[in-house]
Structure 1
């Protein structure tokens, strides 16, 4: 189809129509620290909004999108206190694993917005977390054709 017959939004209209950030359909389980992180993100974006010149429509559109996201995440947050003595891998636990090559790894199962895989914090909805949830110490999980052994389960610090 010729572009001559397609109405493109004007510059300002295109800015006003930033798409919302995708919100996960999963329950929004958060650790106490994750809850604080959501509150901090919301405070950050409110401060950004207050400090942005009113004529900067692009920045305000971006900030408004972030505020909508973090307000929704705070409203849906289900704060979960870590168990004192977890007997199984569940949300809010730290898990020590042994991989088949003998490598040891410690992972924490946290909320989606607080995950940082490079720091050993994975979302409870991640495939590896799903393979581990419900296991006890000494049990094994199958993940990507590898057998992982659960060595220890601790509450998050």
Structure 2
């Protein structure tokens, strides 16, 4: 049917879906085993949410369905590009993707602990730092006792690596 015969208020706007976490151009979509599981769980939740939509109001149903479908397309693309990192194959004595690293700021003596994870899994409040961040990049390949320098404008922060651990049982889940 020609759009000329459709009432103005029947036209639906394309749902605006927020993008997923930023993955820099050319960067591999690295994920931990827990990270890929979280993405798959998110997909299941969206599919269930889509199945439970109330179809009694056709316009609202179509808008909600299209919104969830758009989110699923982004999520499925992220899952398809995921590369699960097997931390058992990495040097256990240095910081790499998947490592939980404790370090201290040499100047302030402030200790922090973060696990280096994929962009979708990152959550500073839960101690999960995206591997693409400047801090994570400065920690990579460092060993206990090494110092990592992070240049922030005029200021240089120096961090001393205190411990490096990998969750070996993460792959068995």
TM-score with structure 2 setting the length:
0.77
User: Is residue 2:86 matched to residue 1:87?
Assistant: no
User: Is residue 2:152 matched to residue 1:151?
Assistant: no
How far apart are the structure 2 equivalents of 1:150 and 1:76? 31
Say whether the 8 Å CA contact 1:89–1:134 is kept in structure 2.
yes
Aligned to 1:96: 102
Aligned to 1:3: none
How far apart are the structure 1 equivalents of 2:52 and 2:17? 23
How far apart are the structure 2 equivalents of 1:150 and 1:11? 60
The C-alpha deviation readout for 1:84-140, integer Å capped at 9, x for no partner, is 761211001010101121111111001111111111100111111011111111111
5 Å-filtered alignment, 1:6-155, equals 12-15=11-14, 18=16, 21-22=19-20, 24=23, 25=25, 26-54=27-55, 55=58, 56-83=61-88, 86-99=92-105, 100-143=107-150, 144=152, 145-155=156-166
Misfit runs of 4+, over 2 Å: 9-13, 17-26
How far apart are the structure 2 equivalents of 1:90 and 1:11? 53
Shift of 1:61: 2.0
Task: Please list every run of 5 or more consecutive structure 2 residues that lacks an aligned counterpart in the other structure.
Answer: 1-7
How far apart are the structure 2 equivalents of 1:87 and 1:12? 59
Aligned pair count?
Answer: 148
Give the root-mean-square deviation of aligned CA atoms: 2.1
Task: Please list every run of 5 or more consecutive structure 1 residues that lacks an aligned counterpart in the other structure.
Answer: 1-8
